[in-house]
Structure 1
């Protein structure tokens, strides 16, 4: 046949008779690791360092940076009367500036001791806002059935210096002990690092004697309702004040810890322990007068806010 010698086109090749299931590929080496594809460079190693999780920086502290400038373009003015919108913005800013009255009783307690039981209190009332307020504060202590050993009443202006600390300027009058004294008061109060509430005051009386007082406290929440609050207070006299039985140097030290049931923030009962001691020259004068130098007591009291 003449057709036997004719070439068959590639597209017309018939593979019907080929059995692909019986083809053996075991001898074929498919390893292409050594093959270089033309026009293609070797892929560089992938760098995953950019996907590493950055160190989390938690900014939960208020700063003291200046406020941003007040915007002068108001989109609402395109749709409403500008004078009406200006009045609305003025009213909104006025609502942000507030003045309010509050009464806070930090301690009102009964003190049970080995000797004669006593009492103590500390609290303040104030009127104003976050930046400026007028404060009336009082604290004292004594023995049941006797005149109070200490009654202090202070009135001062409190001004915020920054988000953490406030300045105190005013006067304090001591009704007890006798004789009574009136002091000019300059102080700093605020929140120190690690959330310690601190207060420092310098007091100068009309008689010329100068004293200092420092306080520190910390509130640790154990549960949603239980709060433990250790506190310390120390008084310092810059000179002897014989009329008040006060010697120069460290005058008095108070330490205490109170466990408060703070379920209702407006009225929270507490129990704790209170220890106080006269120090240095004041302790010597107390011994001469036959007074106690130190004492410890269990306390039961109430904290309130209105």
Structure 2
């Protein structure tokens, strides 16, 4: 089953590359010249703090390489609790510009914690009205489970260096996933903000405060296991741009 899905994934990605290459032949010479330029960017964040459930750490990276229309997008997240790695995920995505400020994305997400699982991933990354940076993705695991995630944030400057970044994340599942202790529907969410100071555009320390909560059957599973269904977490962190 896993081999079949992997072959399907590779076939879809290859088809997109071929169709996109043919589509680009319709661009004028100036478009070809601009697209032939290769750019890259990489953001790295590390933060540490705590809440009612003890100390927590979070590491995240998000980067891409490519041109205006085609990019290879790589990103990942690590989360630790009381010195133990609790969540680990790495993404590799082909990103294709489909509209001003919007890319369609297709690729693979690999989790190693809390269990080893691969996900066929498709979605969109772009800039919504009022300058909200948006990531919306659908996942199909190698077990056949379907889930989705929506993330938005906004970068607001009070002065040339000091600013405020509100954000939220919502996770959904299409069915109960007992092995991951997830219930169908809206399963988990978080909302928070960062107060940051740009020492330079590439070095940004910040304070982070967020509220995490489980919902529905996911919350019931947590209560039955004598685990908290919500938490406030305060952290300090730094963001680096390479």
Which TM bucket (shorter chain)? 0.7 to 0.9
TM-score (structure 1 length as normaliser): 0.67
Provide the aligned length of Structure 1 versus Structure 2.
216
Query: CA 1:238/1:270 → structure 2, altered by over 3 Å: closer, same or farther?
Result: same
Select the structure with the greater relative contact order (CA < 8 A; seq sep ≥ 6). Answer: 2
Deviations along 1:149-176, one digit per CA (max 9) or x if unpaired, are: 2111111101111112111100101111
Q: Is the 8 A contact 1:149 1:177 kept in 2?
A: yes
- Indicate which of 22, 38, 41 corresponds to 1:102: 41
Q: Distance between the aligned counterparts of 1:234 and 1:186, measured in 2?
A: 16
User: Paired residue for 1:127?
Assistant: 65
Q: Distance between the aligned counterparts of 1:202 and 1:275, measured in 2?
A: 24
* 2:109 is equivalent to residue 172 of structure 1: yes
- Indicate which of 62, 76, 98 corresponds to 1:138: 76
TM-align CA RMSD: 2.0
Q: CA deviation at 1:142?
A: 2.1
Q: CA deviation at 1:118?
A: 0.7
- Indicate which of 81, 91, 98 corresponds to 1:161: 98
Equivalent residues in 2 for 1:52-201 (5 A)? 94=33, 97-105=36-44, 107-146=45-84, 148-178=85-115, 180-201=116-137
Q: CA deviation at 1:263?
A: 3.3
* 2:203 is equivalent to residue 267 of structure 1: yes
* 2:214 is equivalent to residue 278 of structure 1: yes
Q: Is the 8 A contact 2:153 2:166 kept in 1?
A: yes
Structure 2: unaligned runs, 5 residues or longer: 1-26
TM-score (structure 2 length as normaliser): 0.83
User: Paired residue for 1:204?
Assistant: 140
Deviations along 1:78-124, one digit per CA (max 9) or x if unpaired, are: xxxxxxxxxxx99xx7477311333212x311122244111112221
Q: CA deviation at 1:293?
A: 1.2
Q: CA deviation at 1:214?
A: 0.4
SS for the counterpart of 1:284 is helix
Q: Distance between the aligned counterparts of 1:119 and 1:206, measured in 2?
A: 28
Structure 1: unaligned runs, 5 residues or longer: 1-68, 71-88
Greater CA radius of gyration, 1 or 2? 1
SS for the counterpart of 2:218 is helix
Q: Distance between the aligned counterparts of 1:133 and 1:277, measured in 2?
A: 34
Q: Distance between the aligned counterparts of 1:131 and 1:182, measured in 2?
A: 27
Q: Is the 8 A contact 1:224 1:263 kept in 2?
A: no
SS for the counterpart of 1:194 is helix
Higher strand share: 2
